[in-house]
């Protein structure tokens, strides 16, 4: 795919996101989320394009690319680099840790041959840690895409991953 085609695709995705969520500052995260959802991440060129589209007839203070990048890099639901088709988010907070989370984390890393924030060579899996997901009563917890798994044991990891074959 040519660079021009990619840039026009990104511009179209951003235009659609802005039309859907609006142009005010409250819409920045929903806009970035939409871009992340459609493209699989928020590519670097998207920050410039969002800035350009928002700053045209916005009527507010100009938006800086650094402000948008700061949001995208702060929230773990967004990624500034490509991720796998399936993203595994593992809760690393203390309640999950004390009920066996480390053993589950070690099993995930060993099974997928990944470290935190890495993606498999075939782009199938990305493994990331996250802070509390609010399900401490059923820890250890992991999320795969939009699916939540609680009370996970190391022995269950392979069976859970097989569901995404």
Q: pLDDT tens digits for 11-31?
A: 999 999 999 999 888 899 999
For residues 40 and 83, the answer to whether their CB atoms sit within 8 Å is yes
Give me 92's structure tokens. Answer: 């690393």
Q: pLDDT tens digits for 85-136?
A: 999 999 999 998 899 999 999 999 999 999 999 999 999 999 999 888 889 8
Neighbours of 98 (CB within 10 A): 11
What are the sequence ranges of the domains in the chain? 3-74, 86-162
Pick the CATH number of 86-162 from 3.40.50.1370, 3.90.180.10, 3.40.50.11030, 3.40.30.10: 3.40.30.10
Residue of 81, 131, 142, 139 whose CA lies nearest to 108: 142
């Amino acid at each position: 795919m040519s660079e021009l085609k990619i840039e026009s695709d990104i511009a179209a995705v951003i235009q659609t996101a802005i039309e859907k969520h609006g142009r005010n500052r409250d819409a920045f995260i929903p806009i970035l989320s939409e871009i992340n959802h459609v493209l699989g991440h928020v590519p670097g060129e998207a920050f410039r394009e969002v800035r350009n589209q928002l700053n045209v007839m916005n009527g507010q203070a100009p938006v800086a690319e650094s402000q948008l990048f700061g949001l995208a890099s702060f929230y773990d639901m967004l990624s500034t680099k490509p991720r796998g088709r399936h993203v595994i988010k593992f809760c690393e907070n203390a309640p999950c840790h004390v009920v066996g989370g480390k053993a589950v984390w070690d099993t995930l890393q060993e099974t997928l041959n990944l470290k935190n924030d890495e993606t498999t060579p075939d782009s199938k899996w990305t493994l990331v840690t996250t802070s509390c997901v609010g399900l401490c009563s059923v820890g250890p917890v992991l999320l795969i895409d939009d699916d939540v798994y609680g009370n996970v044991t190391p022995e269950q990891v392979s069976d859970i991953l097989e569901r995404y074959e």
